[in-house]
């Protein structure tokens, strides 16, 4: 049995707690949060030990592994506290705000021989895993063009002050939404050489972005990232990936993968030239506990079994997540440079990250 602690009991933290508490190889030894009434309820109805101070939980409950589900700006300090005590770490995404710090934490965990994982759950979705397998087989040839998208109804009106509404705490569509399709791109194509044309657009939020667009440049082509968490047409978050190669095209979302293969393609087993469709349900094993989606259980199960097996390197470890951190920083810096250029040249169009495209369009006069 692996003794596990959980810190951060918001939406994701409670979800992780419910799943990990039901895992047959796990014993939850403590939970930590700043909200007293929530801890009282958990202590009363679950019997789990509760703490308001993380260091106290780590020292008294002595978990072998820690699940971190707090706002992003708190991740680094908590990860460091766990690593210093020789505790394995599962952390919600993105890993940290500063990519230089993610590299330091990656090295520190590796030096202690610790298992690490970051909650990029899409890598455990059957359709997205099948994309990776087909690319490894060279089914469509080298990818020349890619499109990664994420849409959802998170911010649909001027929002109040939460950690998600502040850039310094890791909020905004770039960190909270675009990180998911970006992580898939880095899994499929690796890190880009550069990015350009990045726009962080505010729609309802006052201080952070609600929409993201950027072009990622690779030696063999380009990838576009588009994300918008102010899309009321979506019932929940929707992530999509499309990749084009010399031998065909792959499209995938959470539900299915559609593959078009030319007769020039090296046809994988189970596929044929022309259109192929496979569904996530046929590509995914049933989890021991279902909540939110089988991929959430699958990622925690992978973390637990990596600890049991002593597998330091693995899916979504800190090393792979730090690549995504670097790409997020590249997009943020590129968007800031574009804003600075517009300000320096005296352009009448204010940066879209501050005004939003709709406001910019309303500022144009007919015939101007």
For domain 142-245, say whether CATH 3.30.360.10 is its number.
yes
For 119, 139, 181, 328, the CA distances from 13, given in Å and listed in that order, are 11, 38, 22, 23
**Interval 235-282: pLDDT, tens:** 999 999 999 999 999 999 999 999 999 999 999 999 999 999 999 999
Q: What is the pLDDT of residue 361?
A: 31
If you write DSSP's letter for every residue of 227-260 in order, what string do you get? EESB-TT-SS-EEEEEEEETTEEEEE-SSEEEEE
> Is residue 353 over pLDDT 70?
no
CATH 3.40.1360.10 describes domain 2-114: no
More confident site: 105 or 315: 105
Model confidence band, residue 164 (pLDDT cutoffs 50, 70, 90): low
Cα(21)–Cα(45) distance, integer angstroms: 13
Boundaries of CATH 3.40.50.720 in the chain? 2-114
**Cα 178 to Cα 149: distance, rounded to the nearest angstrom:** 8
For residue 137, give every residue at least 6 positions away whose Cβ sits within 8 Å of its Cβ, in sequence order, or none. 266, 268
218-234 pLDDT tens trace: 999 999 999 999 999 99
Is the pLDDT reported for residue 71 higher than 60?
yes
Domain ranges in the chain with CATH number 3.30.360.10: 142-245
State the pLDDT at residue 196.
Answer: 97
User: Considering only 157-161, 167-171, 313-317, which range has the smallest mean pLDDT?
Assistant: 167-171
Contact 344, 351 (CB under 8 A): no
Alpha helix positions (H), 259-317: 280-283, 294-309
List pLDDT tens digits, range 295-312.
999 999 999 999 999 999
Sign of the four-CA dihedral 213, 336, 101, 19: negative
Share of the chain above pLDDT 90, in %: 83
SS3 225: strand
């Amino acid at each position: 049995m692996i003794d596990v602690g959980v810190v951060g009991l918001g939406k994701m933290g409670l979800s992780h707690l419910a799943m990990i508490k039901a895992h047959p190889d796990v014993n939850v030894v403590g939970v930590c949060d700043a909200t007293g009434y929530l801890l009282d309820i958990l202590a009363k109805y679950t019997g789990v030990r509760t703490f308001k101070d993380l260091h106290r939980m780590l020292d008294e409950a002595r978990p072998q592994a820690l699940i971190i589900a707090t706002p992003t700006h708190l991740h680094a300090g908590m990860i460091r506290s766990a690593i210093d005590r020789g505790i394995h770490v599962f952390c919600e995404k993105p890993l940290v705000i500063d990519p230089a710090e993610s590299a330091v934490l990656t090295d520190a965990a590796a030096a202690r021989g610790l298992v690490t994982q970051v909650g990029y759950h899409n890598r455990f979705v059957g359709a997205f895993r099948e994309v990776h397998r087909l690319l490894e087989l060279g089914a469509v040839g080298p990818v020349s063009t890619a499109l990664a998208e994420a849409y959802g109804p998170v911010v649909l009106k001027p929002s109040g002050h939460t950690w998600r509404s502040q850039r310094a705490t890791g909020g905004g569509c770039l960190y909270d939404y675009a990180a998911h399709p970006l992580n898939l791109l880095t899994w499929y194509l690796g890190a880009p050489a550069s990015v350009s044309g990045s726009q962080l657009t505010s729609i309802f939020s006052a201080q952070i972005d609600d929409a993201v667009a950027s072009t990622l440049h690779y030696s063999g082509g380009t990838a576009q990232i588009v994300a918008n968490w102010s899309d009321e047409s979506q019932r929940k978050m929707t992530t999509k990936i499309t990749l084009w190669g010399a031998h065909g095209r792959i499209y995938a979302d959470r539900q299915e993968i559609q593959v078009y293969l030319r007769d020039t393609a090296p046809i994988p087993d189970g596929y044929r030239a022309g259109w192929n469709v496979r569904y996530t349900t046929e590509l995914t094993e049933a989890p021991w506990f279902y909540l939110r989606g089988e991929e959430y259980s699958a990622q925690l199960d992978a973390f637990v079994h990596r600890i049991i097996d002593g597998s330091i390197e693995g899916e979504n470890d800190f090393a792979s997540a730090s690549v995504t951190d670097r790409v997020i920083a590249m997009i943020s810096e590129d968007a800031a440079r574009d804003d600075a250029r517009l300000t320096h040249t005296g352009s009448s169009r204010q940066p879209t990250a501050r005004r939003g495209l709709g406001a910019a369009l309303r500022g144009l006069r007919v015939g101007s």
